[in-house]
Structure 1
Amino acid sequence: MPSLDLLATFMEIYRAGSLSAAAQRMGLTQPAVTGQLARLEEQIGELLFVRSRQGVAPTPRAAALATRVSLHLDALRDVLGSTEAEPALRGTVRMGGAAEAMTIRVLPALASLSGRGLSLHMTLGLAQDLLGELAEGRLDLVVSAIRPKHRAILAVPLVDEEFLLVGAPATARTIDADRLRTAPADALAALPLVAYAEELPIVRRYWRSEFGHRPTNPVAILVPDLRAVLAAVAAGAGISVLPRYLAEPALAAGDVVQLHHPEVPPLNTLYLATRRGTPANPALTVVRDRLIDAATEWGGL
């Protein structure tokens, strides 16, 4: 008979939809959760989840098992929860970051802390503006896409973003494949760009890194949200450069394709920034540590 610990881990995976999310909710490492699932599957003699880049999907056997055990496990948690609960957190942590990374990575990693009494106030915006608010004391922590230079700010590397040049499949078919291999910038020059801002910050960096100059392409759409950029690219409005973590589901679905494959992908480091010399704040420490732990499982973004 499977142990209660293995069944509890199974239910967390079933409800979270991914091994990493289940690990975060349980306060375990992902390898530990993977190992517990493997032991349960060995004891049952059947596969319980189908793995993919998007997470895990339960098999019919898993759905039947969840129906049988969920109510009993929840009842046990109610009885034992008071003796096993993590310590409560008091106060508010004011955070800032780019809308896309905060929505897709940061908020899911921190969501369970609200159950311990922590209040999170999020400000979404550009890194330079948010770092100014941090230095002036209006924010406690910023996930920054640029390295802070202000003396009042302490920053540690969190995770690297990997950038991909993408376009819709129909757009890709209009590009001369031989020319793309030998003179990629020329092969792409006539294609319109979809960009985050007028300065073409991400696109410009990619072009300079890979092609040695700024892009000369016409700009079709400017929209200050990378998720909207991805939607416009998938719809055929043009090409763009996006972080892998944002583009990967669309790549897997075939909505966009990677147009250029550099030997070393362009990277940008995200930093976790706080103010120097601030009084000890246990809640801020927990948030900071939770993000650092979560980033080890994100890998390159």
Structure 2
Amino acid sequence: MASRLTDLDLLATFLEIYRGGSLTSAASRRGLTQPAVSGQLAKLEKELGAPLFVRGSRGVTPTPRADELARRVGTHLDQLKTALDPVSALEGTVRLGGAAEFMTTRGMPAFTPLTQRGLRLEITLGLAGDLLNGLKAGQLDLVLSSVRPGAGLTATPFTDEEFLLVGPPMLARTVDQRLLARNPARALEHLPLVAYSDELPIIRRYWRSEFGERPKNATAVIVPDLRAVLAAVIAGAGVSALPRYLAEPALAAGSVEQLHHPEIPPLNTLYVVTRGTTTPATDVVAEHLRSRDWGAL
């Protein structure tokens, strides 16, 4: 019996690391020290005979084995927690909008504890502008937005995305490192770009923030999904600026390299956006987003 309880304890710690993206957030939520969380994770990985996370300077990234384990045990552990704490049950439906890339990689795992307590979510994926218009029109209750909205909506910051300039190793080797130190925009000018849209929103922001000018590079690929942007970069089509949470697994695998290392990484704030009077269920989701430790994004 004690062994089974220990296994449940290890799995509960694993699930907090998986959903929070860091050992620090898991330690806080589990009421443990970080060394204790590290020890539990190491024990579980030893029992399974496989690593569950790739350690990075800004947090951890799940391996495919971790994704599989989370799918298998997450629902059962959440249901067990709810059964032991029935007052935590939730009711209602929240119509929530967000970017496909963030929602599929970080958002959905973060919402699982709420759905397991009885909350129902209707998710709409799309661009920030379209989602904010849907919120104004009453079609959505809450939006996770990378754009701060205008008057009529309430926006609260909940985390920051950090952008990295990455490219495939074969293109990284063509960059003159001495010129990069003196004039980075000029050193990178020959590299083709892979962008989200013709306006180069993320790339243009990176160039202006770090180099004080617009990019003069030719554009090789336009694809409106950051996951597809990363796939094109890995394949060798060009370089791009991407959120750390998307790029870090490829960096750890050596599929891409970071081309530029700014002293202060460029950030983009993400907002929880609501309108007018909110429902108790919407308030629960908003507070869950604001209070969560999102780890490295």
TM-score for the superposition, normalised by structure 2: 0.81
Which residue of 1 is the match for residue 270 of structure 2?
A: 270
**Residues 167/137 of structure 1: CA separation in 2 closer, same or farther (3 Å cut):** same
Matching of residue 145 in structure 1 with residue 141 in structure 2: no
Maintained 8 Å contact 2:194/2:239: yes
Give 1:103-122 correspondences, 5 Å limit.
103-122=104-123
Question: Hey, what's the Cα distance between the residues in 2 that align with 1:168 and 1:192?
Answer: 11
CA root-mean-square deviation: 3.3
By how many angstroms is 1:220 displaced?
0.4
Matching of residue 285 in structure 1 with residue 283 in structure 2: yes
Whichever residue aligns with residue 109 of structure 1, its letter is A
Question: Hey, what's the Cα distance between the residues in 2 that align with 1:116 and 1:282?
Answer: 14
**Residues 210/117 of structure 1: CA separation in 2 closer, same or farther (3 Å cut):** same
Report the 3-state secondary structure (helix = DSSP H, G, I; strand = E; otherwise coil) of the residue aligned with 2:245: helix
Question: Hey, what's the Cα distance between the residues in 2 that align with 1:239 and 1:5?
Answer: 48
By how many angstroms is 1:23 displaced?
10
Stretches of structure 1 lacking an aligned partner (at least 5 in a row): 64-69
Which residue of 2 is the match for residue 102 of structure 1?
A: 103
Whichever residue aligns with residue 93 of structure 2, its letter is T
Cα distance per residue 1:126-156 (max 9 Å; x no partner) = 1111111111211100111011112x21111
Question: Hey, what's the Cα distance between the residues in 1 that align with 2:4 and 2:61?
Answer: 27
By how many angstroms is 1:118 displaced?
1.7
Maintained 8 Å contact 2:193/2:239: yes
Whichever residue aligns with residue 99 of structure 2, its letter is A
**Residues 22/231 of structure 1: CA separation in 2 closer, same or farther (3 Å cut):** closer
Whichever residue aligns with residue 235 of structure 2, its letter is A
Whichever residue aligns with residue 285 of structure 2, its letter is V
Cα distance per residue 1:248-298 (max 9 Å; x no partner) = 11111111010001111111100110002x15x22112211221222x2x2
Which residue of 2 is the match for residue 173 of structure 1?
A: 173
Maintained 8 Å contact 2:192/2:238: yes
**Residues 36/258 of structure 1: CA separation in 2 closer, same or farther (3 Å cut):** closer
Report the 3-state secondary structure (helix = DSSP H, G, I; strand = E; otherwise coil) of the residue aligned with 2:150: coil
Stretches of structure 2 lacking an aligned partner (at least 5 in a row): 46-50
Question: Hey, what's the Cα distance between the residues in 1 that align with 2:274 and 2:104?
Answer: 20
Question: Hey, what's the Cα distance between the residues in 1 that align with 2:35 and 2:295?
Answer: 22
Whichever residue aligns with residue 85 of structure 1, its letter is P
Question: Hey, what's the Cα distance between the residues in 2 that align with 1:225 and 1:81?
Answer: 36
Maintained 8 Å contact 2:21/2:296: no
Maintained 8 Å contact 2:168/2:255: yes
Report the 3-state secondary structure (helix = DSSP H, G, I; strand = E; otherwise coil) of the residue aligned with 2:88: coil
Which residue of 1 is the match for residue 32 of structure 2?
A: 35
- For this pair of structures, how many residues does the alignment match? 274
By how many angstroms is 1:161 displaced?
0.8
Question: Hey, what's the Cα distance between the residues in 1 that align with 2:121 and 2:271?
Answer: 19
Whichever residue aligns with residue 157 of structure 2, its letter is P
Question: Hey, what's the Cα distance between the residues in 2 that align with 1:256 and 1:34?
Answer: 37
Cα distance per residue 1:196-239 (max 9 Å; x no partner) = 01100000011111111111111000000000000100110000
TM-score for the superposition, normalised by structure 1: 0.80
